Amino acid sequence: MPSQVIIFSTDSLRGGIIQEVLKRSGLESLLAGRLLEAGQAIADNAPRVVIFDTKGIFPDELNLLKNLCRALRDTGVLVLGDRSIVDTFSGEGIQNGLCLSDPLDPDLIASEVKQMILSPKTKEKRLQRDDLESDLKQFLKLD
């Protein structure tokens, strides 16, 4: 069964905590430690929500992440990390996006993810799966 939530985090502790809290809220998720894996997981699963944890990622990865966010027009996006980094995502035109700066607040993340999944906007846009796949294939250079 495809996962509704994909988590990208290079920090195994933070990623693991988010995954565990989501599990306790009844949400199955996939955790990816590398950006390309996250992109592939998104393409394979067409999730409703993607969580990007920017903690500890390299500047080059940050630019790739922003490109990936732009490609995710129809998926709920949650960006986490230091305020200085998270704030740079605000102007990136992420639709359905939400930025939460540190400290990591697992309970808030779980409640926001639940809301995003229940949001009719996300549900409706998720139907446009073909668009998502083609955008991601472009991002992953799979075409």
Partner 1 sequence: MADERDFLSEQRERFETFKGQALGGDTQSTGESDEKADEQIEKAKEASEKPVMAEEKEIGEGAESPKGPVGLDIGTSHIVAAQEKGTHIHAVKQLNAFFTVPKSKFSRSILNKNQVMYYERENLFYVIGYSAESFANMFNMNNRKPIKGGLLSSDEEEGLSVIQAIVNTLIRKPRNFGEPLCFVIPGEPFDGRDSVVYHESVINRFIGGMGYSPISINEGMAVVMSELSADDYTGIGISMGGGMCNVCLSYLSFPVITYSIQTAGDYVDSMTGRAVGEPATKIKGIKEQELDLTKEPQDRIMTALHIFYEELIFRLLQSFQRVLTSTDKIPKISNPIPIILSGGTATPNGCRERFEKVLRSIKLPVEISGVRLAGDPLNAPAKGALIMAMTEAG
Which residues form the interface with partner 1 (CB under 8 A)? Answer: 1, 3, 10-17, 19-24, 28-34, 37, 40-41, 56, 82, 102-108
Nearer to partner 1, 10 or 134 (CB): 10
* Minimal distance, residue 93 CB to partner 1, in Å: 27
Nearer to partner 1, 102 or 112 (CB): 102
* Minimal distance, residue 92 CB to partner 1, in Å: 23
* Minimal distance, residue 54 CB to partner 1, in Å: 13
SS3 call for 10:
coil
Q: What are the b/e assignments for 32-54, b being 16+ CB within 10 Å?
A: beebeebbbbbbebbbbbbbbbb
Nearer to partner 1, 29 or 96 (CB): 29
* Minimal distance, residue 6 CB to partner 1, in Å: 8
- The one-letter amino acid at 79: V
Dihedral pair phi/psi, residue 98, rounded to 5°: -145, 135
CA distance 51 to 72: 12
Nearer to partner 1, 86 or 125 (CB): 86
Handedness of CA 10, 13, 18, 22 (dihedral sign): positive
